[in-house]
Amino acid sequence: MEREPMSSDDRPEAAAAAAAESVQEQPQPLEWRFAHVFGERAAGEDVQEVDIISAIEFDKSGDHLATGDRGGRVVLFERTDCGDSASRRELERQDYPVARHPEFRYRTEFQSHEPEFDYLKSLEIEEKINKIKWCQTTNNALFLLSTNDKTIKYWKVQEKKVKRVSVMNLDTSQSSGNGSTSSPGTNSCKALLPNGGCSEKLYRPNNNMSFPPGGCTSLRLPVVVVTGQDLNHVARCRRVYAHAHDYHINSISNNSDGETFISADDLRINLWNLEICNQSFNIVDVKPANMEDLTEVITCAEFHPTHCNTLAYSSSKGTIRLIDLRQSALCDNHAKLFEEHDAPGSRSLFTEIIASVSDIKFARDGRHILSRDYMTLKLWDLNMDSGPVATFQVHEYLRPMLCDLYENDSIFDKFECCLSGDGLRVATGSYSNLFRVFGCPGSTEASTLEASRNPMRHQVSNPARPTRTLTSLARAVRRAFFLPLSSYGAGGENTSIEANGNSYDLSTKLLHLAWHPTENSIACAAANSLYMYYA
């Protein structure tokens, strides 16, 4: 019996070559390095509540970074190493990677919001910046949106040359003839005439100039001159979008058309035009006729990066809805629903709480959505709504401590997430000022770093447990929505826990971070300090 010849795919060397090729296709794990820190506090220094960073956002070019804090201030940083961008792009086309130290510097800051008081509702409105979004740049001026709980503001920041008023003296041919000049500091008049002249001689050091009896026939007007190359950054509020939300604004998002944006609170999503501040359109409303029937709230909303008619919003039930603005004026019905059902027997008392989605981000290509709940990161494909394509365990080691986390309100912390510009990696924060970076499906990359000047690698083990996933919320949401967090537990006296032989500080949590749109660079906030890393 003759043996059939082996095909090229069955040969050992062909299989080895294919395996080697697949390994080469997977991106290599990144080695993260410290780049910058702004506002670093000294050991033992107390942090003021108003200085804690509450929002971070890169612009589309990655050349500018904005942060907002609980004191209502917006601080802008600009990149200073952009001059060799063309040569860098050429180097990136070569076979070896180029890692460059990104350099940012402080540019300016301004007071965006002030504390207010709603007298009709007897409600204090704090100045804390909830979100910042960059808008399109025009004529070298920067535009951005910032919001607190109730009011959205549209800001224009531009450079203006420093000017001063000069040459405020009399212009006469006599003074110019002898080379002397007069100045405001040396002019002295006993009595002023109606035509602006003086009744007596002008006092001068050399006293060699006099005026006619009727006064001076010509006056030199003040002149505004530029003093050198000094530039002053001026922030001006162009629009104020107010009185459109009954509940706290949790997110804003710019549309790709450059003309509109959305703002979302717990129950509604409004559509705005940037040029119209006294009118908005309600496009999503989940408020029931009877508030006792409330089962979920909106937690985050974001526009598609390229399709101006598509947006997604998440809920406290752990679901993500994709809606199409072309279907109807009020988008009661979603185009797609993304959710992951519970495994049988996996429900617990806290399943509904930890399923709530705290943040969502579209990938730059618009194909995927990244969502963050309390325990995990999930990556969703817009073309597959049966479940996430990947689930990343962020701090699975905290699962046995959910009861303690509930008692000190830590279980309600809202962590943000971000994706790299190429879509190959995702990142999110954790406790003890740690943040984690994961490689997308097909990669085993999982890095844990500490937000400090000297970051240290942390190996956080994840116990092998079935994934607790998404369910409806019902009673837990109603309590979280209507009651203050202090009513849930004992007030949070215990701020540290022990897990896997390590101690984790729950009071130092990294909630906010952003990934550079074109490079492997991450900016993250630890209390009042802004740390930047690159790979």
What's 133's domain CATH number? 2.130.10.10
Residue 129 resides in a domain? yes
Residue 223 resides in a domain? no
Residue 489 resides in a domain? no
Q: Where are the beta strands (DSSP E) in 127-250?
A: 131-134, 142-147, 152-166, 223-241
| Percent share of the chain, pLDDT over 70 | 71
Residue 414 resides in a domain? yes
pTM of the model: 0.76
- What Cα–Cα distance (Å) separates residue 206 from each residue in 181, 186, 443? 11, 11, 85
Per-residue pLDDT tens for 305-323? 999 999 999 999 999 999 9
What pLDDT band is residue 478 in, cutting at 50, 70 and 90?
very low
**Number of domains within the chain:** 1
CA 100 to chain centre: 23
Residue 418 resides in a domain? yes
Q: Cβ(57)–Cβ(134) under 8 Å?
A: yes
What pLDDT band is residue 303 in, cutting at 50, 70 and 90?
very high
Mean pLDDT on 509-513: 95
Q: Identify the domain containing residue 296 by its residue range.
A: 33-40+47-81+101-106+113-138+246-460+505-534
Per-residue pLDDT tens for 169-211? 554 444 444 444 444 444 444 444 454 444 444 444 445 555 5
Residue 429 resides in a domain? yes
- Report the 10 Å Cβ neighbour count for 428: 25
pLDDT at 48 over 70: yes
Neighbouring C-alpha atoms within 13 Å toward the C-beta of 244? 27
Residue 26 resides in a domain? no
Per-residue pLDDT, 196: 47
Per-residue pLDDT, 167: 64
Per-residue pLDDT, 347: 75
Higher-scoring residue by pLDDT: 219, 55 = 55
Higher-scoring residue by pLDDT: 489, 235 = 235
Residue 432 resides in a domain? yes
pLDDT at 399 over 70: yes
Per-residue pLDDT, 13: 54
What is d(CA 522, CA 449) in angstroms, rounded to the nearest whole number? 11
Per-residue pLDDT, 81: 81
Per-residue pLDDT, 218: 63
Per-residue pLDDT, 341: 84
pLDDT at 3 over 60: no
Per-residue pLDDT, 492: 40
